[in-house]
Amino acid sequence: MSNGNRQVLTGHQVVANAMRQVDPDVVAAYPITPQSEIVEYFSKFVADGKVDSEVITVESEHSAMSACVGSSAAGARTMTATASQGLALMLEIVYIAASMRAPIVMTVANRALSGPINIHCDHSDSMAARDSGVIQIYGEDAQEAYDFTLMAQRLAENEDVLLPVMVTLDGFTLTHTAQVAELLPDDTVTDFVGEYEPLYPLLDVDNPTTQGPFDMPDYYFEHKLQQVEAMNNVPEKFLEVQEEFSDLSDREYSGLFESYRLDDADYAIVLLGSTAGTAKVVVDELRDKGKKVGLLKPWMFRPFPAEEMKEALKEKEAVAVFDRSLSFGSSGPLYLEVSSALSHEDNKPRLYNYTYGLGGRDIAEGHIAEVFEDLENPDLESKMHYINART
Amino acid sequence: MAEFELKKYDEVPIGGVVTGGATPELNETGDWRSNRPIFDEDKCIQCLLCWSHCPDASFYIEDEEVQGIDYDHCKGCGICAEICPVDAITMVPEGEDSEDE
Amino acid sequence: MKEIRWHGRGGQGAKTASQLLADINLQEGKFVQSFPEYGPERSGAPIKAYNRVSDEKIRVHSGVYEPEVVAVVDPTLLSAANPTEGLSSDGILLVNTGKSAEEIKSETGFNGKVLAFNATEVAENAGSGYANVPVLGALVRVLGTDYELARAEVESALLKKLPEEVVEMNLAAFKAGYEAVNN
């Protein structure tokens, strides 16, 4: 199943291997489609003695994240994975993990939130966690999910950051598709992630600490400002980690988002996750026909790279922002961010919001090509547009 | 209650961590109390049940004997008075004088 | 890039065959995707699985709508599913059936190339009993893949989960499937 360094692996297998190579002290998780196989593969690695981690099987995701917070506070390198309802149930404790500055790395296999109940991909689960204080990185394919899981470890544990990191990959589209990926050698990853040295390990009995205490109005605000500062430190640290990772992997990562044929484009699409791959194919086809089109794919959604994105988009003619989740009664979350980033520009591009892919609704090349065609129309309505939905 | 100087966000440990292991000693929490336990040394048989049941570690012990009550931290819950087998502890409303005061 | 669609019933190994094909294509130096269509799965229900094969990195992540090749593992799916959907007349329909290619053409109304052979019988004769592997053998021939390379990959993949004698039966079925069709 391998050819040189290349292997055919599902997204599950790729993430489980990243976890094996990181060799966390503790993994606490609860199964949910489409995440389950990540932890199943990882548990097999543990059972086979390929990794020394302690896997804690718990009775819910709320407990999973609670165990992760306790383990991280104790000073253990800690990872977990979840999806959809699991993340929703976990969310209360994700806020606490962030506020306690627990550098937990978690995978989210993006899946629509109920109801109606649905197991397929959209981004409603991770978007619900966007204000929790967790760093969010979105991957386009299994390779990016692998690479970012490794980079996330370094980012989370950076002393100027110390925040949980969520790495997402689209459920089924990436988790259940066997695709070509390259894994780094185990010892390369070991060297890259290094030893974790916790700042305030609870198990350091010679230096006792109280963790997760109560705050009155006199300190809550200041503790939140600490989180703000940590989040502000993320972009610079992420770029440093990317540079180091690019050197050892021969894969090029340099930025908070990927610009694809964007520089001289008049028309651009902004979107997260696996659909970016399909959009690149469309961009290439339209470029062959002489159309000046491009793509901007944020890797990082939290913190949001507003300033950099403004520079990349401000001179475009028109921009379509694709959201794979709804914020009922408002625009999509990605659209609001892009719109806000451009708000002070005098000659900003025409800006449109498209909702797509809810509950696993497919989006094909033709749908994306139609949006680029839409963008050429200066009279295009600035209402919410729905792609491949029976409106 | 002791007054603390309020510090700026970057002057305190991150994540609300409180360093050092003796935080109750820095805070007087006895001002919650509405009933006060009064300890009668003459009746006491030094069984230490009060000490072992006190949820706030508010009994002074020396040489394995109760010496008195730490009113800076006692919250007046009355468990000690309930558990004492020889009625050596009685609860009186806070503010009422007692010969032990 | 080539796109392939599999039709099978839950439990017949269409998804496994799709993943084996991806492994084989990787050995040829290709880029691949293999994914099933997920729904309320249960044994016996019609399922679809897909392969993409390319010399370049595959970036598209949508469903497959216009496959070049369709492989039907279960004969009853010719009527129960719609295996020729999106298949253009220069595509290939590979069917496990006791009927002739001409009969399949008239049954499905498909004008392109039909390759028909009785994979169920092949599997029974080989002792393996599963039609997915002979269909895979035939598909490997249709795609022009090197036989020895493909056989070696099937062997090493199956040895990871099946006992040696069962693997031998499957390899015999794979060979018979490969030989049952002309490219």
What ipTM, to 2 d.p.? 0.92
Amino acid at A332: G
Half-sphere exposure at residue A339, Cβ-oriented, CA atoms within 13 angstroms: 16
Cβ of B18 within 8 Å of Cβ of A209? The answer is yes
Q: Which chains share 3+ C-beta pairs under 8 angstroms with A?
A: B, C
Segment A333-371, tens digit of pLDDT: 999 999 999 999 999 999 999 999 999 999 999 999 999
Half-sphere exposure at residue A311, Cβ-oriented, CA atoms within 13 angstroms: 6
Selected for mutation to probe chain A from B1, B5, B7, B9 (highest A CB count within 10 Å) is B9
Residue with tokens 């390899």: C171
Domain range holding B52? 29-93
CA distance B64 to chain A (A): 26
**pLDDT band at residue A3 using 50, 70 and 90 as cut-offs:** low
CA distance A359 to chain B (A): 36
Q: Which residues of A touch B (CB under 8 A)?
A: 99-102, 162, 199-200, 207-213, 215, 218-219, 221-223, 225-226, 229-230
Against a cut of 0.90, is the pTM above it?
Answer: yes
Residue B7 lies in a domain: no
Q: What is the dihedral angle through the alpha carbons of A211, A212, A218, A224, rounded to the nearest 10 degrees?
A: 110
Q: Which residues of A226-265 are buried (b: 16+ CB within 10 A; e: fewer)?
A: bbeebbebbbebbeebbeebeeebeeebebbbbbbbbeeb
Cβ-Cβ contacts under 8 Å, B8 against chain A: 222
A 90-149 near C (Cβ less than 8 A): 119-120, 141
* Percent over 70 (pLDDT), chain A: 99
Domains of chain C, earliest start first: 2-180 (3.40.920.10)
Segment A279-321, tens digit of pLDDT: 999 999 999 999 999 999 999 999 999 999 999 999 999 999 9
Predicted local distance difference test score (pLDDT) of residue C147: 97
* Percent over 70 (pLDDT), chain C: 98
Selected for mutation to probe chain B from A160, A161, A222, A232 (highest B CB count within 10 Å) is A222
Top-tier CATH class for A257-386: alpha beta
Q: Which of A110, A143, A114 is nearest to A15 (CA)?
A: A143
Is residue C37 within 8 angstroms of chain A, CB to CB?
no
Domain CATH number, residue B51: 3.30.70.20
Cβ of A99 within 8 Å of Cβ of B15? The answer is yes
Which one of A215, A221, A229 has the shortest CB-CB distance to B16? A215
User: In which element (H, E) is residue A105 found?
Assistant: strand A105-110
Cβ-Cβ contacts under 8 Å, B3 against chain A: none
User: In which element (H, E) is residue A366 found?
Assistant: helix A365-375
Is residue C149 within 8 angstroms of chain A, CB to CB?
no
Q: Is the pLDDT of residue B99 over 60?
A: no
Q: Which residues pair with A137 in a beta bridge?
A: A167, A300
Residue B50 lies in a domain: yes
Residue B8 lies in a domain: no
Residue B24 lies in a domain: no
Helix, strand, coil percent values for chain A (each to nearest 5): 40, 20, 40
Q: Which residues of A283-320 are buried (b: 16+ CB within 10 A; e: fewer)?
A: beebeeeebebbbbbbbbbbbbbeebbbebbbebebbb
Total domain count, chain B: 1
Residue B62 lies in a domain: yes
Predicted local distance difference test score (pLDDT) of residue C42: 76
Give the mean pLDDT of chain A.
97
Q: Which chains share 3+ C-beta pairs under 8 angstroms with C?
A: A
Average pLDDT over residues A155-171: 98
Q: Is the pLDDT of residue A54 over 60?
A: yes
Q: How distant, in Å, are the alpha carbons of A33, A123, A348, C114 from that of A109?
A: 8, 9, 35, 40
Residue B34 lies in a domain: yes
Distance of CA A378 to the CA centre of its chain: 33
Predicted local distance difference test score (pLDDT) of residue C39: 73
Which one of A1, A8, A278 has the shortest CB-CB distance to C61? A278
Domain ranges for chain A: 2-249, 257-386
Q: Is the pLDDT of residue C183 over 70?
A: no
Predicted local distance difference test score (pLDDT) of residue A378: 97
Cβ of A176 within 8 Å of Cβ of C58? The answer is no
Segment A7-32, tens digit of pLDDT: 999 999 999 999 999 999 999 999 99
Which one of B8, B10, B19 has the shortest CB-CB distance to A209? B19
Q: Which CATH superfamily is domain A2-249 in?
A: Thiamin diphosphate (ThDP)-binding fold, Pyr/PP domains (3.40.50.970)
Q: Which residues pair with C47 in a beta bridge?
A: C8
